Amino acid sequence: MRALGLLLCLAACAPTTRDLRVGSKRFTESRVLGEVAVLVASETGATVEPRTEFGGTMLAWNALRTGAIDLYPDYTGTVINEILSGTPIDSAEELEQALAEHGVRSTEPLGFNNTYAIGLREERAAELGVVRISDLREHPDLRLGFTNEFMNRADGWPGLRESYALPQTDVNGLDHDVAYRALESGALDAIDLYSTDAEIDYYDLHVLEDDRAYFPRYDAVFLYRTELGDTHPALVEALQSLAGEIPREAMVAMNARAKLDLVPETSVAADFVRERLGIQATTNERSLTARLWLRTKEHLALVLSSLLAAILVAIPLGIFAARRERLGQVVLALTGILQTIPSLALLVVMIPLLKALGAPSAYLIGSAPAILALFLYGLLPIVRNTYQGLKDIPPELVDAAEALGLPTRTKLRRLELPLASRAILAGIKTSAVINVGTATLGALIGAGGYGQAILTGITLDDTALILEGAIPAALLALLIQTLFELSERILVPRALRA
Amino acid sequence: MSSQAKEDSTSTPPFAIEYSAVTVRFPETLAVDALELSIPSSRTTALIGPSGCGKTTLLRLAVGLQNATSGAVRVLGQPLEATTLDQLRHSIGYVVQEGGLFPHLSCADNVALVAEHLGWTRERVRARTSELCELVQLSEELMQRAPGELSGGQRQRVGLMRALFLDPELLLFDEPLAALDPMVRAELQDDLKKIFARLEKSVLLVTHDLAEAGYLADDIILMRAGRVVQRGGLREMLEQPVEPFVTEFVSAQRGARDLLAEAQQ
């Protein structure tokens, strides 16, 4: 286990000498804010590496808490209700204190509140004379459509209906994007919104005033590690200076450009910091070659380090399985079970597992858990082929080897492993090819690689971006397969080749 | 055939292999049944009998590839013990059908495997290889090839070289010529007979061919169902069979009768 830990450390440290990692979650607004932070940080002279595809709030938060990233944007309501839900927090001071216990600080609010809201088409609102949520009481026949999450959350529809004593009964749960289209076509009268949705302006919607202050505030802030105050004081100062600089209209406009006009988030953020803060950020969009190179390096680091670890563990396991028949079957069954766990589940489970194993907190997110998951995934083909390769040595050769009177180790090195080498190499090849594909999911926990492009592409419905990740991933798999076939000529004795 | 023992080596025990009350039981069969048997030193002994009579099991017992269910086996005067087994195996040459050569190593590497492990110098290995090539009548150039590139008879000669490399005291042969065609087989039988005569090793040979046994061995042990039926020379088996099975077994082997008829002329 210690050796494995060391390997993971080496692997995690290997790809780049990191300076500052800026994270963001998997939606447009979070990524735009992340890019703003990247530009502001670059302006202070820091070298920055973006980590943009965290699959959920807790993944990003854990990454921050453990030092895998240094800062990321989030919302006060999310921090209070989701991240720190066990701690009662009633004031800014209490929030600051609760964050400090995790070695994290928050900037002042950036200037907008991305809370839930209720919206109607402007003309429909005017027609009904509705400006506040309480005005809805006068129109019991309105057709409402809410996201499934909003339908079920305590601070969603059930609480809203109770708080405002709303009479509507025609309420449907549906997808957020579908809801916008249903509203536009007149199939629905009102839907729930995130108050900085770009669609609000696009569809010309009227956001009803929350006159009873029912919805909590979701003020956007940057969360950063406390130690940045010492290591990067200029950055902290620059982040703090963003307080109040991003009013709702500005954020909505940026979301619209990124999501509706498909302007790259980097450019959206660069325009914003230039116009608002006077930072002459060159749109630091990496060239295609540079992007591919970076992702290739990240991807290779994931695949190669996990594969190396798998080889070092799986070959001895396979040898053991071949030697000790009964325990060997247990080993084969266990590695087989690992293979049946869906890869995404395995990736996410690695974080608490690493924590339970006492891994240093810096390795709880990012490449370390991804490498561990890929390592476990890579075990079975190698263990099974090593086992089978050794078992398939003809009995007369087993006897001949035994009768020579060589020590076990020499016999293994000179006779048994070379005789099984073709099967073992085939197992390693299978592992490598599987890992190239599975590693694309690593981006969900901040490990980078080709998955970064694929997952962003899926979020943005940007086929070009998906292909920018998928094509190199497929090519890498083919390349690895070819390399293995070539290496078979070197590693497998001539007489044993197919 | 000359049977004078090596006079200089006082440590040579009278028996190369001693089986004392040895029983080997497999799940379905009794392979060796409470056997008392001694294989003399410096002579060639053949084990013969129908399939499943236990002859191969006796050979495997002697090199530790098979454990006795009960009883004891002593080889070269020593008991077979896990701690000294590998050491003892260096004094035993073991040859199986087709030589049992490792396909991934050249013939040269196949024969020198153990010597290299024991730290022999390259010169010593080369000299011994040349010497043995001459003994087994094999061209030295063939040694650089992989076993797969050799004929069956050539492979068998390489297998013999490997068994002889450390100059062992005991040679065990398990059906060494069974897979060869008749011409090659006859030639190898001649060569083996010369080599045995020249080296004066203790040899235990398993074969199902009575003619081969009679030609190569000083002493023939006929087995059936894990027991020794008759022991002696070929002529004895023909002329004084101890039970009908012996005659039955001998008559089934046309070659043996012809051989004897030839000898009687």
Domain of residue A128, residue span: 116-207
Q: Is residue B239 part of a domain?
A: no
Between A397, A414, A419, which is nearest B113 by CB? A414
- The closest of A353, A483, A386, A379 to A434, measured between CA atoms, is A379
d(CA B153, CA B181): 9
Domain check: are A359 and A421 in the same one? Answer: yes
pTM beyond 0.90, yes or no: no
- The closest of A164, A148, A198, A182 to A29, measured between CA atoms, is A198
pLDDT of residue A11: 42
d(CA A237, CA B53): 93
Contact A404 B146 (CB under 8 A): no
Domain check: are A413 and A295 in the same one? Answer: yes
- The closest of A72, A69, A71, A68 to A8, measured between CA atoms, is A68
Domain of residue B193, residue span: 12-91+169-229
Domain check: are A465 and A336 in the same one? Answer: yes
Q: Is residue B258 part of a domain?
A: no
Domain check: are A300 and A434 in the same one? Answer: yes
d(CA A444, CA A59): 9
Q: Is residue A212 part of a domain?
A: no
DSSP-assigned states of every residue in B113-148: HHHHHTT--HHHHHHHHHHHHHHHT--GGGGGS-GG
Give the pLDDT mean for A65-84. 87
User: CB contact, 8 Å: B119 with chain A?
Assistant: no
Domain check: are B67 and B35 in the same one? Answer: yes
User: CB contact, 8 Å: B101 with chain A?
Assistant: yes
> For A14-28, A196-210, B201-215, which range has the lowest pLDDT when averaged over its residues?
A14-28
Output the domain CATH number for residue A428.
1.10.3720.10
Say if CB B147 and CB B198 are below 8 A apart: no
Domain check: are B137 and B187 in the same one? Answer: no
Number of domains in chain A: 3
Q: What digits encode the pLDDT tens for the residues B30-76?
A: 899 999 999 999 999 999 988 888 899 999 999 999 999 999 999 99
Between B86, B92, B104, which is nearest A496 by CB? B104
Single-letter amino acid, residue A373: A
Q: At which of B167, B193, B208 does a domain end?
A: B167
Full strand arrangement of the beta sheet holding B15-25: B30-40, B15-25, B70-75, B78-79
Q: Is residue B68 part of a domain?
A: yes
Q: Is residue A3 part of a domain?
A: no
Residue B164: closest CA among chain A residues belongs to which residue? A404
Domain check: are B51 and B68 in the same one? Answer: yes
Q: Is residue A13 part of a domain?
A: no
- The closest of B67, B73, B62 to B25, measured between CA atoms, is B67
Average pLDDT, chain B: 87
Q: Is residue B245 part of a domain?
A: no
> For A116-125, A153-162, B108-117, which range has the lowest pLDDT when averaged over its residues?
A153-162
Residue B175 has pLDDT above 90, yes or no: no
Q: What digits encode the pLDDT tens for the residues A383-392?
A: 999 999 999 9
Q: Is residue B19 part of a domain?
A: yes
Q: Is residue A213 part of a domain?
A: no
Q: What is the DSSP letter of A445?
A: G
The 10 Å CB-count burial string (b at 16+, else e) for A157-167 is: beebeebbebe
User: CB contact, 8 Å: B65 with chain A?
Assistant: yes
Between A404, A418, A493, which is nearest B89 by CB? A404
Q: Is residue B6 part of a domain?
A: no
Residue A16 has pLDDT above 50, yes or no: no
Which residues in A lie closer than 8 A to residue B148 (C-beta atoms)? Answer: 495
Residue A404: closest CA among chain B residues belongs to which residue? B89
- The closest of A242, A217, A216, A247 to A71, measured between CA atoms, is A242
Domain check: are B157 and B207 in the same one? Answer: no
Strand partners, A25: A54
Residue B241 has pLDDT above 90, yes or no: no
Output the domain CATH number for residue A55.
3.40.190.10
Closest Cα in chain A, distance from residue B65 (Å): 7
Residue A479 has pLDDT above 80, yes or no: yes
Closest Cα in chain A, distance from residue B60 (Å): 9
Average pLDDT, chain A: 85
ipTM confidence:
0.86
Q: Tell how strand A205-207 and strand A116-121 pair up.
A: antiparallel
Residue A6 has pLDDT above 90, yes or no: no
Residue A132 has pLDDT above 60, yes or no: yes
Contact B89 A403 (CB under 8 A): yes
Tell me which residue has tokens 């065609």: B181
